[in-house]
């Protein structure tokens, strides 16, 4: 959510930002907010005047009573009561305007960073840089679910019977590899100085609306029936919610955390051959990076975060590239975002395995996360980035380490987490 003072002083800039995100249907919201804000400020001014008048009259009542002028005092008491009634109605009006303003402000997208390329959707995202040489072997690489099944590591049929489409059983060495990657990613981030966290897997609606837009909420979140609780789509939701309503100490900034959680997503509209297997699923696990920092430090942290993901993947001998998300591909709260994509030698193209985002102060404004400064409190900046998200990451791992005989090589950094194994053999 942007600063209403900024909107009030720069309405055309806010409208231009909306156009850059190809959300022209939201343009009327700006004028509506300005109109409602004007009415609310007028109501606030009237309320101040009424309270001042009431205080003056109340003081006068005391003097009249002391002087025995009870009749005059009763007349002024009636006037005070009338002011109280008017003030109550005015406060209702103020609250109504404030609610209407907030409802509209929550729908107006965050101001995107000046470096963000303008484009309608993810087809217009821009490649930034490649890391590692993408290789296409001379032999055929099977589809990832076929590789997993050849290792006796995947059972989709049983999962469909138990939970329906979009779920899976991982077994044996594939399940072990899944856990090994998460453990390695955890330790990798701890060695970068991040604090390891395991957060709640459910959050309340006021946290959900604080960390994401209404459109994202509808497309992603599972609601717990009969309770004010949602299953998290990523641990970022819980981790940012941890600071809701807090005033943080300047000398304790920044907060750098790496969090593990299962994630639950509706994944509406997931179709096509590349959606089979474990590519797009309703349940998965993820290691996340979350930073809450001083505003002037957030862009430095942004560059650090995505570079950590690149470093992690390269340490596992997987080629990756970074992709700048264009304006139309940014969710409403994002000021800037880049995807990390891993090389798929089977498809001979890259696919998304993580995303790094600077929200600036958008989440902090919604959740009331402030830093105590010498000249007053101000909003923190929040960032998040995927460290690793298996089982999708397993697709990149298995394809890039698949050998002609059907075995999977284990890179050196993962061997301590795999009991010393350097290879997974195909099970006949």
Break the chain into its structural domains and give their ranges.
Answer: 4-105, 122-424
pLDDT for 65-112, tens place per residue?
A: 777 777 788 788 888 888 999 999 999 999 999 999 999 999 999 999
Q: Can you give the pLDDT at residue 218?
A: 79
List the Cα angle 167/171/177 in 5-degree steps: 100
> Do the beta carbons of residue 103 and residue 26 sit within 8 Å?
no
User: How deeply is 30 buried, as exposed, middle or buried, from its count of CB atoms within 10 A (0-12, 13-18, 19+)?
Assistant: buried
Instruction: Considering only residues 276 and 199, tell me which one the structure prediction assigns the higher pLDDT.
Output: 199
Q: Can you give the pLDDT at residue 272?
A: 44
The CATH T-level fold of domain 4-105 is: Helix Hairpins (1.10.287)
SS3 assignment, position 24: helix
pLDDT over threshold 70, residue 378: yes
DSSP 8-state assignment for residue 237: H
Alpha helices of 106-168 — where are they, by DSSP H? 144-150, 156-163
Indicate the angle between helix axes 70-105 and 27-66, nearest 10 degrees: 160
Average pLDDT over residues 9-38: 97
What contacts 24+ positions apart, CB below 8 Å, involve 42-51?
43/90, 43/93, 43/94, 43/97, 44/94, 46/90, 47/87, 47/90, 47/91, 47/94, 50/83, 50/86, 50/87, 50/90, 51/87
Closest CA to 211 of 179, 192, 234: 234
Q: Can you give the pLDDT at residue 324?
A: 97
pLDDT over threshold 90, residue 61: no
What's the CATH code, domain 122-424?
A: 3.30.930.10
Q: What is the CA radius of gyration of the chain?
A: 28
Q: Can you give the pLDDT at residue 55?
A: 84
Length of the chain: 428
The token pair that represents 327 in the structure block: 């304006």
Closest CA to 319 of 360, 357, 351, 283: 351
Give strand pairing partners of 383.
291, 358
Q: Can you give the pLDDT at residue 62?
A: 67
pLDDT for 121-131, tens place per residue?
A: 999 999 999 99
The token pair that represents 34 in the structure block: 């300005």
Task: Give the Cα separation of 322 and 428 in Å (integer).
Answer: 38
List, in order, residues 6 or more apart from 131 with CB less than 8 Å away.
310, 313, 314, 319, 320, 321, 322
Averaged confidence pLDDT in the chain? 93
Q: Can you give the pLDDT at residue 238?
A: 96
pLDDT for 201-224, tens place per residue?
A: 999 999 999 998 877 887 889 999
181 Rama class: left (phi>0) / alpha (psi -120 to 50) / beta: alpha
Q: Can you give the pLDDT at residue 273?
A: 39
pLDDT for 230-276, tens place per residue?
A: 999 999 999 999 999 999 999 999 999 999 999 999 875 544 434 57
pLDDT over threshold 60, residue 227: yes
> Do the beta carbons of residue 364 and residue 314 sit within 8 Å?
no
Give the distance, in angstroms, between the CA of residue 273 and the centroid of all CA atoms in the same chain.
28
pLDDT over threshold 70, residue 376: yes
Average pLDDT over residues 16-22: 98
| φ/ψ of residue 220, rounded to 5 | -110, -50
Task: Give the Cα separation of 285 and 287 in Å (integer).
Answer: 7
Tell me, letter by letter, the H, E, C secondary structure of 357-393.
EECCCHHHHHHCCEEEECCEEEECEEEEEEEECCCHH
Closest CA to 413 of 211, 187, 103: 187
Q: Can you give the pLDDT at residue 193?
A: 98
Average pLDDT over residues 349-378: 96
Q: Which of these ranges, 60-69, 189-198, 205-214, 347-356, has the smallest mean pLDDT?
A: 60-69
User: Taking the alpha carbons of 396, 124, 7, 95 in that order, is the dihedral positive or negative?
Assistant: negative
Average pLDDT over residues 312-337: 97
């Amino acid at each position: 959510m942007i600063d209403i003072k900024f909107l009030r002083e720069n309405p055309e800039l806010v409208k231009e930002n909306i156009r850059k995100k190809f959300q022209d249907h939201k343009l009327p919201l700006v004028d509506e907010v300005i109109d409602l804000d004007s009415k609310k400020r007028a109501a606030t001014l009237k309320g101040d005047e009424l309270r001042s008048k009431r205080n003056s009259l109340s003081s006068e009542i005391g003097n009249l009573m002391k002087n025995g002028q009870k009749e005059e005092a009763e007349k002024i008491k009636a006037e005070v009561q009338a002011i109280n009634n008017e003030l109550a109605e005015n406060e209702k009006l103020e609250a109504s305007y404030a609610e209407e303003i907030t409802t509209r402000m929550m729908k107006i997208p965050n101001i995107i960073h000046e470096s963000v390329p303008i484009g309608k959707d993810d087809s217009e995202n821009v490649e930034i840089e490649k890391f590692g040489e993408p290789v296409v072997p001379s032999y055929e690489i099977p589809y990832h679910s076929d590789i997993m099944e050849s290792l006796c590591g995947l059972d989709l049929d049983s999962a469909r019977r138990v939970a329906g489409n979009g779920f899976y059983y991982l077994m044996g060495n594939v399940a072990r590899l899944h856990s090994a990657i998460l453990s390695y990613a955890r330790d990798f981030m701890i060695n970068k100085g991040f604090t390891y966290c395991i957060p709640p897997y459910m959050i309340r609606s006021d946290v959900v609306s604080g960390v994401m837009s209404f459109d994202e909420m509808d497309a992603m979140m599972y609601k717990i029936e009969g309770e004010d609780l949602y299953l998290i789509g990523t641990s970022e939701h819980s981790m940012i919610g941890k600071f809701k309503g807090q005033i943080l100490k300047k000398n304790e900034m920044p907060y750098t955390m790496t969090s593990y959680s299962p994630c639950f997503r509706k994944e509406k509209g997931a179709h096509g051959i590349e959606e089979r297997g474990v590519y797009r699923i309703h349940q998965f696990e993820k290691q996340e990076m979350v930073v809450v920092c001083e505003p002037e430090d957030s862009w430095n942290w942004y560059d650090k975060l995505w570079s950590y993901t690149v470093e992690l993947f390269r340490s596992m001998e997987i080629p990756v590239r970074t992709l700048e998300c264009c304006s139309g591909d940014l969710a409403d709260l994002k000021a800037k975002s880049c995807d990390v994509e891993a090389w798929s030698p089977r498809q001979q193209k890259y696919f998304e395995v993580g995303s790094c985002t600077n929200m600036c102060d958008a989440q902090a404004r919604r959740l009331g996360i402030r830093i105590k400064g010498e000249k007053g409190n101000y909003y923190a900046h929040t960032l998040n980035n995927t460290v690793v998200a298996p089982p999708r990451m397993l697709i990149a791992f298995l394809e890039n380490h698949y050998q002609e005989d059907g075995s999977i090589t284990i890179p050196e950094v993962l061997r301590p987490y795999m009991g010393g194994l350097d290879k997974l053999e195909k099970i006949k």
